[in-house]
Amino acid sequence: MGEVALVTGASRGIGAAIARSLADAGYSVAVNYARSADLAEAVVSEITMSGGTAIAVQADVSDADAVAGMFATVTDELGPVTVLVNNAGITDDGLLLRMGVDQWDHVLSTNLRSVYLCTKTALKPMLRARSGRIISVSSISGIAGNPGQSNYSASKAGVIGFTKSIAKEVGSRGITVNAVAPGFIATDMTNALGEAVTEGVAKQISLGRLGQPEEVASVVRYLASEDASYITGQTLVVDGGLAL
């Protein structure tokens, strides 16, 4: 069995672009989703029609039992995961004084607890194999902060700290652990903000436009590759010069 990539939240947006890009690079790809079965199946069909190997696997990545089931399915059907991409994430914005505890917990568990659960599960066979790649999708909000996103920023800053700690824990076993921090990428997540907001943000980006999911996917593909064998514990910013 060859290289197997599990991409969480790969039914749409950045995750779908990462799944397609890794499949193009020859990985067998597990396309995880929470609710969008049709979209996940469409990503799988696109990959298989181009000669690649992919399966769709449903799991809420904040749920420990669901994560265990997802890894069991992927291992049975494709083999042990050699590249884990922790991409699934949500926003639920609001100013802190109006932010309910459920709103805080839901974002933290979807964006950060999931990274703990999936990474811990993926690492066991990687440690035995003495190789592997963990790549997590953080955000520029986790570096620079953003008003109305204290829950989201905290989760994404948590991903960066987690990445550094695990890189130190497993580096001696030949496993690299990195993150990418996208800025403003054109997906459902940013479309939901409306045209006026996205046009305003585009003016603050050095490159003068939103990024495309494929422009994040190519960086993830690089971090997964042999070319990135001496990079670990890093967060690569992919924001078109937004946070300069």
Q: Is 90 in the site for ligand NAP (CB under 6 A)?
A: yes
Q: How far is the CB of 129 from ligand NAP (least distance, A)?
A: 25
Cα-based angle 163, 166, 167 (whole degrees, multiple of 5): 80
- Going from the C-alpha of 26 to that of each of 11, 23, 44, 60, 132, the distances in angstroms are 19, 5, 14, 26, 16
DSSP string, 186-218: -SHHHHTT-HHHHHHHHHHSTTSSPBPHHHHHH
DSSP 20-43: HHHHHTT-EEEEEESS-HHHHHHH
Q: Give dist(CA 93, CA 103) in Å, integer.
A: 8
Q: Does 188 bind ligand NAP (CB under 6 A)?
A: yes
Write the DSSP string, 99-143: --HHHHHHHHIIIIIHHHHHHHHHHHHHHHHT-EEEEEE--THHH
152 annotated active-site = yes
Report the distance separating Cα 36 and Cα 140, nearest Å.
26
Least spacing, CB of residue 193 vs ligand NAP, in Å:
9
Near ligand NAP in 146-185, by CB under 6 A: 182, 184-185
Q: How many residues bind ligand NAP (CB under 6 A)?
A: 31
- Asked if residue 78 binds ligand NAP (CB under 6 A), the reply is no
From the CB of 21, what's the least distance to ligand NAP, in Å?
A: 13
- Of 27, 33, 116, 152, which is the active-site residue? 152
As measured in angstroms, the least distance from the Cβ of 98 to ligand NAP is 21
Residue 62 in contact with ligand NAP, rule: CB under 6 A: yes
Binding to ligand NAP in span 223-242, by CB under 6 A? none
Task: Pick the piece of the chain touching ligand NAP (CB under 6 A) from 118-126, 168-176, 187-195, 228-236.
Answer: 187-195
Work out which of 5, 9, 67, 135 binds ligand NAP, going by CB under 6 A.
9
Candidate list 7, 55, 56, 61; residue touching ligand NAP; CB under 6 A:
61
Nearest to ligand NAP of 53, 58 (CB atom)? 58
Q: Interacting stretch for ligand NAP, rule CB under 6 A, among 20-28, 59-67, 125-133, 225-233?
A: 59-67
Q: Can you read off the two tokens belonging to residue 8?
A: 């969480």
The first and second tokens of residue 212, run together, are 């495309």
Residues lying near ligand NAP in the complex (CB under 6 A): 8-15, 32-36, 39, 60-62, 87-90, 110, 137, 139, 182, 184-185, 187-190
